[in-house]
Structure 1
Amino acid sequence: MVRIARPALVLCAGLVVAVAGCADDGGSTPTHAHSAAATTSGVPTACGVDLTAPVIQSAVAALPAEPVTHAAWSTDPRGFEGNFDPCATLSTVIITVQGATGSSPNQALLFHKGSYIGTATPEAHGFTSLDVDRTTDDTVGLTYKTPGSCNACTDGTVTQVQFRWEGQKVRTIGTPPK
């Protein structure tokens, strides 16, 4: 099953390289929307969640095939989940493979001010979703179903991880599943 939820969160456009590190930290404040316009190559960009933005398609096209299944990543925005906003400090789009089922691998793409900076984790994980309550303008919260947990059960074990923009890089708060 492909997730098509589109939570109302925000993010922005800019260029930087992401570097993830692990740390343990507390919760975060709920997100808020931006009303100002950003610019991309001197052209004003409307702020707000937009999972159809061309930069997302470019990021997906730059990824190699998923290494375990060898499947190509889906480019259909109807299957995307996330809060990509060209005006947010850090945002994400969660993608899956073409022909996905509910347990297919997902990959979270991270964007800083609307520019693609890399994936949240080196490897894809099934059952990845945006944690709206732990996401802010500069922090993306993701929830991963813990490997080995019942994937068909509503009470399966989850791992919550946050990715926070800190000036020039992304810091990982928590430990993603292996």
Structure 2
Amino acid sequence: MPDVSGAPKSSAVIAALAVAVLAGCGSGDSTVAKTPENTSPAPAPSQAPPAAPPGPSGPAPVDECAVNLTAPVIAKAVSELPRDPRSGQPWSPEPLAGNYSTCSDISAVIVKANTNAENPSTRAVLFHRGEFIAQSVPDTYGFSGIDLTQSNGDTVALRNASGIPGVSGTVKFHWNGTGVEIVGNTRG
């Protein structure tokens, strides 16, 4: 028969071990409290995958000879013009009309005086192969548009409007190889 006197000793050891284990699991010793915080840097945000190379239906190449009324050279040229003689105001750099092209011997834009007047002055600004023609340009005041049907690479047809009903016309400016000359004037 086993020794009965050892039984209380074993029970006391087991009870002491149980108390020690339970004491080690206090509220501050939970698994969450013992898990270290993440100290590594946050992952970089994912970037969009690189664009696929253009296929047969990719973007069309830019036509360098296309009409471009937002070319910076237009605003620069307009800023160099003398002020409108009628209002004393500078000219607005935003064209009302035009066929500006770096490939044409002559092209033009129509600008208006930067005023709130009901009928602001207008004028044409002429270009040769995209460069502002500042010297030796005939009078270009009073033009309201461009007649594209009468214009080509070396001639630009500007429509004028006098403000008088029925009195208007077209004036053609031609690049002669060294400068601009008037080659035609028609009344409409």
TM range (shorter): 0.5 to 0.7
Shift of 1:111: 0.4
**What is the CA deviation profile of residues 100-146 of structure 1, one whole-angstrom value per residue up to 9, with x for unaligned ones?**
55621111011000000038543621x52101111011100011124
Separation in 1, partners of 2:140, 2:102: 25
Report the equivalent of 2:74.
56
Structure 2: any 5+ residue segments left out of the alignment? 1-60
**What is the CA deviation profile of residues 64-87 of structure 1, one whole-angstrom value per residue up to 9, with x for unaligned ones?**
210111111112x3x431000111
Structure number with the higher helix fraction is 2
Q: Which has the larger radius of gyration?
A: 2
- Equivalent of 2:151, from 135, 138, 141? 135
- Equivalent of 1:93, from 90, 93, 109? 109
User: Greater RCO between the two (CA within 8 Å, min separation 6)?
Assistant: 1
Summarize the Cα distance change of 1:97–1:124 in structure 2 as closer, same or farther, 3 Å threshold.
Answer: same
Report the equivalent of 1:162.
172
Query: Aligned Cα RMSD in Å?
Result: 2.7
Separation in 2, partners of 1:135, 1:56: 19
Normalised TM-score (structure 1): 0.62
Structure number with the higher strand fraction is 1
Residue aligned with 2:177, SS:
coil
Identity value in percent: 32
Separation in 2, partners of 1:67, 1:176: 26
Normalised TM-score (structure 2): 0.59
